[in-house]
Amino acid sequence: MTAPSSRVLLHSGWQTVNIGDIGHTPGTLRYLEQAWPAARVTLWLANTTPAVTAMLRRRFPHRPLSRAALTGKGLASTPALQDAFDACEVFIQNSGMHFNRFWDPPMHLLDACHTAGKMLCLYGQSFDGLPPGTKPHCPPAFLRLP
**In a domain? residue 1:** no
* Domains in the chain, number: 1
Residue 17 included in any domain: yes
In this structure, are residues 142 and 110 in contact, taking their beta carbons and an 8 Å threshold? yes
Q: Which pTM does this prediction carry?
A: 0.83
pLDDT tens per residue across span 105-137: 777 888 888 889 898 888 876 666 666 766 555
Assigned domain for 11 exists: yes
Residue 63 domain boundaries: 7-144
Contact 11, 94 (CB under 8 A): yes
Answer whether residue 133 is part of any domain. Answer: yes
Q: What is the pLDDT of residues 70-117, one digit of tens each?
A: 888 889 999 999 999 999 999 998 877 666 666 677 778 888 888 898
Asked if the structure places residue 15 within a domain, the reply is: yes
Question: Is 112 inside a domain boundary?
Answer: yes
What is the CATH classification number for the domain harbouring 75? 3.40.50
